[in-house]
Structures are given as C-alpha cells and as structure tokens.
C-alpha cells in the first residue's frame, strides 16, 4: 500500500447506538475506524419532565427544541404507550425545532413535524436562528448530554422564557473493552481521536487513571490529532492538558470527520 493509500486510523468513542452508522460514515470518507464506546446512554426522568409534558399537553409552550436524535426516543419513552399518539398530535401543534438533519430525521420517523432547523448546529447559530422568534415566547428544550443546551442562555437574553428537561444520562460502560482500548491507545497507532461530548472525555481519562496511564495517555493524544465537538468538549480535554486541534464550526459528527481529514492531510503536507 502506497503512502497515498494509507487510511488514517480514527478512534470513535460514541455510545453503542451510534457506532455502526458512525463507523460506516468514517469508512466512506476514507478513515480506518476503531470504534469503542466510552459512554452509554441511560434513561433518566428529571424533576422537571412532568412540567414539560404538561406544558405541551395544555398548549402552554410555544416552541420545543430537540437537541439530538436520542432526545426524541427518550422523551417518548417516559410517556405511557397509549398516550403517545395524543402527545405527538398535541406536540405537532407547537413550533418544533430540530438542531440538525439527524434530529430532523428522528422526528420525522416518530411522526413529529419539524417547523425549523438552523443551517449550522452550534450554540451561537441556534440562538441567532431563534432570535426573532424568542421574544416573549415560552420555549422548552429537550436535551441529554451535558453541555448540549448552552444556547438557552442566549434565548433568555432574547426575551424567551426557557424550560429545560434532560431525558437521558451518559454513563461509563466500564468493561474490559474500554480497558483494552486504553492499552491500544498506548501503542501509538491511532492518528485521530474523535470526542463528541465531555462525558466521553472524562470516562476515557478515568479508565486511563485506573491503569496509572492518565499522564502517558495525554502525551499520546497531544502527539496525535484530537477532534472535539463543541466548546464544552474542548474544555473537558483541556482539563486533562490535552489540546483539541480540530473543533468544527458545525457541531455534527460528519463535520467533525471532514475537519479531521483535512487536518490529517495538512499535517502530512507540513512534514
């Protein structure tokens, strides 16, 4: 295999439910993916979910923003099956916003109409997209992973009353697969590390610390290309003295892959 044919190895650490699609996309874009989940979705019902349900059913909320595909699934899981059709019917009378195409696809599949979707998925763009609508509006934000709802502060600045409900948690899988992954990382054969949320970062370094390798792993990452979706993920990496060299403007996995491949090619050209 010539140098031009060598595919960069990318570590994908998303939850299990996303791995098959994510690795397929990575392969189609020229990567050699190494997929190991470093976070797992866990169903939770926070103390304000009932308020969200009530506002939708009573027509009190003007707009609902879904912050990701899993948010739809876990929001509906909390509703008894006989009541779901009525909930969806009532929800379709509200202004529904999907933050990106993947979320829109999940809403469409659930029978929930989408009224709006920003061109770019990041904190500033979502807030700016909603600015004209936000004044005096009641907005519910349904989210999961910590940090995914940072745009709500901006919506409040624009005059909206914002309610948030978190419908799932990200936990550590904590299996042999994750421990082995840390040992694989230490071999130095991974070109790119793709981090999609702060929890994954913390779980990754927790596993490394248990093996006494947290400082060594940080050195390996800093000698590689580290990609992060969003400022909160980049900040989490910084806490472990790792700099994210790739932070795409658009907070989607596809854009993370595109930016990572460009950085890989640029790095090769600089050598």
Model confidence pLDDT, tens digit, residues 110-166? 999 999 999 988 888 888 889 988 999 999 999 987 655 667 888 998 999 999 999
Q: What is the pLDDT along the chain (271 residues), one digit of tens a residue?
A: 445 568 999 999 999 999 999 999 999 999 999 999 999 999 999 999 999 999 999 999 999 999 999 999 999 999 999 999 999 999 999 999 999 999 999 999 999 999 999 998 888 888 888 998 899 999 999 998 765 566 788 899 899 999 999 999 999 998 899 999 999 999 999 999 999 999 999 999 999 999 999 999 999 999 999 999 988 899 999 999 999 999 999 989 999 999 999 999 988 887 7
In this predicted structure, what is the pLDDT of residue 153?
85
**Residue with the two structure tokens 């930016």:** 259
Distance CA 31, CA 263 (A): 13
HSE of 51, CA atoms in CB hemisphere, 13 A: 13
In this predicted structure, what is the pLDDT of residue 123?
82
Question: CB of 142 within 8 A of CB of 66?
Answer: yes
HSE of 143, CA atoms in CB hemisphere, 13 A: 17
Distance CA 40, CA 74 (A): 13
Question: CB of 25 within 8 A of CB of 253?
Answer: yes
Distance CA 154, CA 134 (A): 10
Last residue of a domain, one of 123, 148, 169: 169
In this predicted structure, what is the pLDDT of residue 1?
45
In this predicted structure, what is the pLDDT of residue 5?
67
Same domain, 52 and 91: yes
In this prediction the pTM is: 0.88
Q: Give the three-state DSSP class for 170.
A: strand
Tally the domains of the chain.
2
In this predicted structure, what is the pLDDT of residue 146?
65
Same domain, 147 and 215: no
Last residue of a domain, one of 124, 142, 169: 169
Q: 134 is written with which tokens? A: 């936000």
DSSP assignment string, 186-245: TTT---EEEE-SHHHHHHHHHHHHHTT-HHHHHHHHHTSEEEESSHHHHHHHHHTT---S
Same domain, 20 and 72: no
Same domain, 30 and 50: no
In this predicted structure, what is the pLDDT of residue 30?
96
Which residues are CB-neighbours of 52 under 8 A, at least 6 positions away?
A: 61, 140, 142, 163, 165
Distance CA 267, CA 178 (A): 28
Last residue of a domain, one of 169, 189, 206: 169
Same domain, 46 and 135: yes
CATH classification at residue 54: 3.40.50.10090
Distance CA 74, CA 42 (A): 9
In this predicted structure, what is the pLDDT of residue 147?
59
Question: Among 160, 142, 151, which residue's Cα sits nearest to residue 66?
Answer: 142
Same domain, 76 and 136: yes
Mean of pLDDT over the chain? 92
Same domain, 180 and 264: yes
Give the domain extent around 115: 42-169
β-pairing verdict for 40-43 and 168-171: antiparallel
How do residues 192-209 score in pLDDT, each as one tens digit? 999 999 999 999 999 999
Residue 207 CA to chain centroid, in angstroms? 21
Same domain, 57 and 144: yes
């Amino acid at each position: 295999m010539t140098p031009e044919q060598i595919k960069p190895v990318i570590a994908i650490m998303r939850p299990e439910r996303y791995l098959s699609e994510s690795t397929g996309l990575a392969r189609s874009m020229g990567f050699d993916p190494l997929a190991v989940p470093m976070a797992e979705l866990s169903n939770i019902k926070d103390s304000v979910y009932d308020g969200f349900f009530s506002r939708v059913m009573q027509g009190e909320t003007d707009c609902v923003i879904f912050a990701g595909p899993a948010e739809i699934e876990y929001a509906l899981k909390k509703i008894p099956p006989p009541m779901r059709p009525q909930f969806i019917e009532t929800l379709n009378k509200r202004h529904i916003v999907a933050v990106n195409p993947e979320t829109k696809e999940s809403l469409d599949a659930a029978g929930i109409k989408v009224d709006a979707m920003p061109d770019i998925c990041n904190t500033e763009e979502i807030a700016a997209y909603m600015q004209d609508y936000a004044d005096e509006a009641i907005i519910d934000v349904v989210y999961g992973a910590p940090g995914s709802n940072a745009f709500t502060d901006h919506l409040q600045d624009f005059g909206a009353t914002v309610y948030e409900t978190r419908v799932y948690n990200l936990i550590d899988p904590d299996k042999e697969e994750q421990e082995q992954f840390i040992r694989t990382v230490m071999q130095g054969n991974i070109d790119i590390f793709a981090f999609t949320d702060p929890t994954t970062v913390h779980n990754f370094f927790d596993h490394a610390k248990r093996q006494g390798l947290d400082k060594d792993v940080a050195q390996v990452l800093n000698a590689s290309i580290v990609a992060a979706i969003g400022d909160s993920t980049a900040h989490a990496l910084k806490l472990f003295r790792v700099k994210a060299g790739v932070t795409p403007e658009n907070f989607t996995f596809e854009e993370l892959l595109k930016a990572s491949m460009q950085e890989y090619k640029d790095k090769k050209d600089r050598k």
